[in-house]
C-alpha cells in the first residue's frame, strides 16, 4: 500500500477499544476490521430488505383475501 493511499482518522478511545475487542485475530488491521463491519452491515441491510419485501407481499395477499385474523381490534 502506498503512503498516498493511507489516511489518519480520529476516533474516540472507547471506539478503539471496541475495534480491538471485535478483531478476528490479533494482527488484523483496523482497516480490515472496519471493512468486515461494512460487509456485515451491507449483508444485514440486504437481508432486511429481502424480509421486508416478503412481508409486504404476504400482507398484500392477506388484505386482498380479507383475512384480518392476525390483527387485534382496539
Domain segments of the chain as ranges: 9-65
pTM for the predicted model, two decimal places: 0.59
- Residue 74 has a pLDDT of 46
What residue has cell string 444485514? Answer: 44
Q: Mind listing the pLDDT tens digit of every residue in the chain (74 residues)?
A: 566 688 899 999 999 999 999 999 999 999 999 999 998 888 888 777 877 777 887 777 777 777 666 655 54
- Residue 71 has a pLDDT of 58
User: Each residue of 31-47: b (16+ CB within 10 Å) or e?
Assistant: eebeeeeeeeeeeeeee
Give, to the nearest 10 degrees, the angle between helix 13-22 and helix 30-65.
80
Amino acid at each position: 500500500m502506498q503512503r498516498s493511499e493511507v489516511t489518519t482518522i480520529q476516533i474516540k478511545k472507547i471506539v478503539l477499544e471496541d475495534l480491538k475487542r471485535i478483531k478476528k485475530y490479533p494482527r488484523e488491521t483496523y482497516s480490515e476490521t472496519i471493512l468486515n463491519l461494512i460487509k456485515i452491515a451491507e449483508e444485514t441491510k440486504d437481508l432486511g430488505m429481502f424480509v421486508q419485501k416478503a412481508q409486504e407481499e404476504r400482507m398484500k395477499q392477506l388484505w386482498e383475501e380479507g383475512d384480518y385474523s392476525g390483527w387485534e381490534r382496539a
